[in-house]
Structure 1
Amino acid sequence: MKVQVCIIGGGPSGLLLSQLLHLQGIDTIVLEKYSREHVLARIRAGVLEHGFAKLMREAQCGERMDREGEIHHGFEIAHDGRLDRVDLHKYSGGNSVIVYGQTEVTRDLYEARDRLGGKVVHNAEDVTPHDIDSGAPYVTYRDGDKLVRVDCEFVIGADGFHGVSRKSIPNDVLREHEKVYPFGWLGILSRTKPVSPELIYVKHERGFALCSLRSQVLSRYYIQVPLTDKPEDWSDDAFWIELKRRLPADVAARLVTGPSIEKSIAPLRSFVAEPMRHGRLFLAGDAAHIVPPTGARGLNSAASDIYYLYHALVGHYLKGDDSGLDGYSQKALARVWKAQRFSWWMTMLLHRFPDRVSYDDRLQDTEMDYLFSSETAMRLVSENYVGLPF
């Protein structure tokens, strides 16, 4: 089999790039380790930057997002028993975000690839890139007992943090930067009315919490827990009791509780791999970088990678211009590190660290006071939250 671009990873990043390139007449194949059902069962956040939403529309995948997504012009931070609002629309030049679950994004992209007859291979085992530093790379995978070879001109590694793509870059080339946080987020999904029409981030002496939503009848809530905790340690009742303790009294009083339909604990990590290109292999999304979910940058950072890759590959194939490919790693990493900074700042501002000292507590309080007393600070938070320009 021969294609122009072989994409490893059938999550939203790989599917979005495949769809965009297909619309430009560029031939791709997507190789996904797991079944479609498995991919669509993953529960992920879904706060979409305005730039990501625009890219979905360009990919002809934005109709349901625009119809069903929740447009948010701001979010609230609960601290010291009160709520303060960050007015994104006011301080970012009229921009906003769309709350639309990553699972739904992925579903829309799958349907778009089906509609156009896109080549997406599921249950592709032992996917391996070869000769990525040559002019003729190829990828092999196993389909049952059969070994399949895909000859291509470029390999895109969009296969996540644990995927094979990043590991294919030689150790003497790859540089990895990582910070692991000493806590995780226990999250539950419930078929209940959201406690607020906008997200509420909570800074509390018992630990961080987040009130989020997927729709007007589907809520997503999180609380900060030690890394030693397991989901089975927490009954639904225990979760709701602890969440209420961390919310302002008036918010807790209107919280609608119910059975969880999904419960999991996500550890928090900051991670960046450099460079994001080696030969004919290009990394994108979680294969190259991870952020704590606090600043809602994960999926959006992946989308910016796809934006740069899409335009670089279009430049190569349709214009004979390789400047986008040559500059991809540098350009993508510049935006990635800004997303890292914002996610790190939000995490440091809102969480209770186990090794903190009184100086840290006072500095946190001062940072919060400054945020809501300075229009410049509000503008900086807003422009990062709605998304920096690509």
Structure 2
Amino acid sequence: MGILANTVSICHFKVQGELPQEDLYTWATKQLAGNRFNPIDEGSEELSLGWVHQDDPRVSDFYTPAACWREHYLIFTLRRDRRSVPGPILKAHLERAMEQWLVENAGYNKVPKQKKEELKEAVRATLLSQTLPTPSTYDVVWDTRNGLLTFTSLSAKTIELFEELFKKTFDGLRLTAFHPFARAESVLKEEMQALLQQANKAKSENFLELIKENQWLGTDFLLWLMYQTMNEASEYSVNQPGIYSDREPFVGYLDDRLVLLGAGENGAQKILVAGPQDRFNEVRSALLNKKQITEATLHLSSGDDNWKMTLKGELFHFASFKSPAVKLEKDNTTDEALEREAVFFERMALLDKGVQLFDSLFATFLETRLAPTWVEEEGKIHGWLNVCSNCQSPLA
């Protein structure tokens, strides 16, 4: 789904490196044009990857900054067209080709290995030329004010392709994942930064190590939030900069769906608990047996506006991030291009609001987690887990 959809899965990056001295948007347009998407409908190529317009993925010319410029945003879309031949079909056609070759070469009882490979490649090329490519598109929104980039896919393979093409396109710039530790650094007040560094379990600044060694940020956050959901009012205040005013109240809580992970007799054991929760008894039982919450459905609301996402705790990816609805109004008097632009800004404002609430909630947790009183808070949480009269033994 694209960035304009009311429900979309997103991940965040920070753009690192020196921006060009020339006009940023003119430069970006040139770079995107140099790595534009080229259609493969008429050929037999297996894959094509490149940039297209966010408003129309059929268009890949970037003649002017207007193609990708919306005030302080750069917007564009990664398009990947791929042809593939199902294995059973390739096998059936190859067998017929080998039978025909044996008929034409009577001195052989079996097709030689090298010839079989040649026939396989020829058959595959023929089948590919008869197959239409399947397109996939993934939107990119780069906020040039703060260097935060939003990408609409959580697939590890797609993210890798995107990072490689971004680096190739924007020479001198690179993307770094906005992982939980990086996000923690960004939301904490200056006086709390030293406490975060003391809690940092990574021994280097390598982002993979920062993610792996600091998974406590996700698991402790979700555990704390589950406890808050069941024992507190779930009411918080905005403490991060953005559209909402400082100290503006909002609500945040977990419900509906949680995933837990832990060691089992046959390796890692994954447990899914779905449906509206009463006392989280099943989850509490699993936690008492050394499982950890790795993802959960998070609800955020302010006034009449509501957001819902599946938070993936390891990387802080937002899956199925649902925001208040916006829609494109079409009538005979409306300029569609202007209306689409208006919808884009409305959509980004709603996404920014949801992220501001999430960051405020995360910052509230960190202030508790990094404080000396965390030992007491942790004791309360474990005490609540142990008061579980209806624990479900199948999760043990």
TM range (shorter): under 0.3
- Relative to the length of structure 1, the TM-score reads 0.25
Instruction: Report which of the two structures shows the higher radius of gyration computed on alpha carbons.
Output: 2
Report the TM-score, using the length of structure 2 for normalisation: 0.25
